[in-house]
Amino acid sequence: MKNPDAIAVIVSALRHVHGDDIARMMLVEGMSLSNLIDAMFSAPLTHREAVRAITDGLDDFVITPDLGLIWHLKYVYGDHSLHVVDLEIATPDGTLASRDVWLRLAS
């Protein structure tokens, strides 16, 4: 693992929100980035901790569709706030919404 601390936070958040069995299934079978964001924001973490764990932990996930070598995260902020409410992934071919990105923990 490239960032075990971030993955530990993600696993704990998924377990807290969904329970052990569903969290395990989400990590092994996969989940959308949107589902991960929702779980992280529902866990007992600060907003900043949740966003940091997601962004730091992405390198440990297999991402579908294949993004290629050039991509970056775009932060979507809430109206009149500096809180991140969603993430998008920008590639040379366009921008993918979080619901269109599938994550599975690399084995």
pLDDT value of residue 7: 97
Return the bridge partners of 61, or none.
105
- pLDDT above 90 (res 46): yes
Amino acid code (one letter) for 47: H
If one counts every other C-beta atom within 10 angstroms of the C-beta of residue 87, the result is 21
* Model confidence band, residue 94 (pLDDT cutoffs 50, 70, 90): very high
DSSP H stretches of helix in the chain: 4-18, 20-29, 33-42, 47-57
- pLDDT above 90 (res 68): no
**Reported pTM:** 0.93
Summarize the confidence of residues 71-99 as an average pLDDT.
94
